[in-house]
Amino acid sequence: MISYIIRRLLIAIPTILILIVASFFLIHFAPGGPFTSERPLPPQVLANIEARYGLDQPLWKQLWDYLTNIVLHFDFGPSFKFKDRDVNDIIAQGFPISLTYGSLAFIAASVVGIVLGVVAAIRHNSWIDYAAVSMGIGAQALPNFIMGPILILVFTLWLGWLPGGGWNGGQWQYLIMPVIALSTSYMGNIARLTRSSMLEVLNSNFIRTARAKGLPTRSVIWRHAMKPMLLPVVSYLGPVFVYVLTGSVFVDLYFSTGGLGQAYVGSALSRDYAVLLGVTILYGSLTVVVNLITDLAYAWFDPKIRY
């Protein structure tokens, strides 16, 4: 097990390196640069700026300097757009915010989604099932870029209960709408997935055997059906956890939370190379770690899997 984890982490290093190199060249080959502006800068002014940010060097040299700065100083470079800040500042400020509402949305989506799915499966074809399925589909049909404006309209303008945006250090009133907006569509997916997985498990032979032995329904579900049922759900939850952090750009846009999603998309549009690469590396590393955790979780859920 330990050797498996170490092996996986070692493989992660070249993976992330490839990610950096590929992103580095992709963004540099995109048309326009960080200092392409409506008023073309006079050549001398542009030269001064490029010298300041090392953009006058050949590409391989820029890449090499970039990598050595990360390895030696853990310095991801300056932002080309936000000239008062550097990439480390931007990540240090935005990531905790994304992490906070992203984790809360993840927990809300998983708990509510799984409960809905399990209840629907147990009461298959009853009104509870239909209600849960319609809720799930309804939630799925409302992605966060639709939920955002609707929530603000209802809770801020009509009811006046919640502030329309901002973060305010993560005060609860400011958290509610971002978490709801981000979690609903995943919640619907998880509910559907759980329901079908549970139905399949409940129809399998070992459950019939357990029932035949005369075990009470509660014990059949909790002791025997739960773990195998969760297996496909867990494989979906891993990527979802990364998605709720990376896919938060709409939440950042609509609720002015100051999270990292907006900085990420903004950096791509403004060709802010260093910010874009920095956040890509962060998300890439996060994906690697979450995938590893998901794989380890499999072993707990399914005794057939051993590392």
Partner 1 sequence: MKDMTRLAMATLLSSTMLTGIAVAQDNVPEGVTLADDQTFTYRVLDEHSSVDPQIVEDVTGSEIVRDLFEGLMNQNADGELVPGVATGYEVSDDNLTYTFTLREDAKWSNGDPVTAQDFVYAWRRAADPETASPYQWFMGLTSVANVDDVISGDMAPEELGVRAVDDTTFEVTLSEPLPYFPQMTTHATLFPAPQSVIEEHGADWTDPENIVSNGAYVLTEHLPNERSTRERNEMYWDNENTVIDRTVALVINDENVALTRYLAGELDRTEVPAGQFPRLKEEYPEEAISFPRLCNYYYTFNLTDGGPEAFQDVNVRKALAYAVDRDIITERVMAGGQPPAYHFTPAATAGFEAPDLEWMNMSQDERDHAALDMLAEAGYGPDNPLEFEMVYNTSEAHEKVAVALSQMWKQKLGVDVTLANMEWKVFLEERGNQNFDLARGAWCGDYNEASTFLDLLDSESGYNDGKYSNEEVDQLLADAKTAENPNELYAQVEQILFDEMPVIPVYHYAGVYMLDSDVGNWPVDNVEQNWYSKDLYKVAE
**Least distance from partner 1 to the Cβ atom of residue 119, Å:** 35
Instruction: Determine, following the binding rule CB under 8 A, whether residue 45 of this chain makes contact with partner 1.
Output: yes
Instruction: Determine, following the binding rule CB under 8 A, whether residue 153 of this chain makes contact with partner 1.
Output: yes
d(CA 215, CA 226): 15
d(CA 148, CA 289): 30
**Four-point Cα dihedral 286, 238, 12, 57, nearest 10:** -40
Instruction: Determine, following the binding rule CB under 8 A, whether residue 172 of this chain makes contact with partner 1.
Output: no
Which of the ranges 1-9, 163-171, 183-191, 209-217 carries the binding residues for partner 1, by CB under 8 A?
A: 163-171
**Least distance from partner 1 to the Cβ atom of residue 190, Å:** 28
**Least distance from partner 1 to the Cβ atom of residue 35, Å:** 7
- The answer to whether 93 and 82 have CB atoms below 8 angstroms apart is no
Instruction: Please provide the distance, in angstroms rounded to a whole number, between the alpha carbons at the two ends of the chain.
Output: 6
**Least distance from partner 1 to the Cβ atom of residue 280, Å:** 18
CA 174 to chain centroid, in Å, comes to 20
d(CA 259, CA 96): 8
Instruction: Determine, following the binding rule CB under 8 A, whether residue 166 of this chain makes contact with partner 1.
Output: yes
Instruction: Determine, following the binding rule CB under 8 A, whether residue 73 of this chain makes contact with partner 1.
Output: no
Determine which residue in the list 14, 42, 58, 214 makes contact with partner 1, applying CB under 8 A. Answer: 42
Instruction: Determine, following the binding rule CB under 8 A, whether residue 156 of this chain makes contact with partner 1.
Output: yes
Nearest CB to partner 1, comparing residues 75 and 129? 75
Nearest CB to partner 1, comparing residues 41 and 131? 41
Nearest CB to partner 1, comparing residues 37 and 68? 37
Instruction: Determine, following the binding rule CB under 8 A, whether residue 62 of this chain makes contact with partner 1.
Output: no
Instruction: Determine, following the binding rule CB under 8 A, whether residue 254 of this chain makes contact with partner 1.
Output: yes
Instruction: Determine, following the binding rule CB under 8 A, whether residue 48 of this chain makes contact with partner 1.
Output: yes
Q: Give contact residues for partner 1 (rule: CB under 8 A).
A: 30-33, 35-42, 44-45, 48-49, 51-53, 81-86, 90, 93-94, 148-149, 152-153, 156-157, 160, 163-167, 252-254, 256-259, 262-263, 266, 269-271
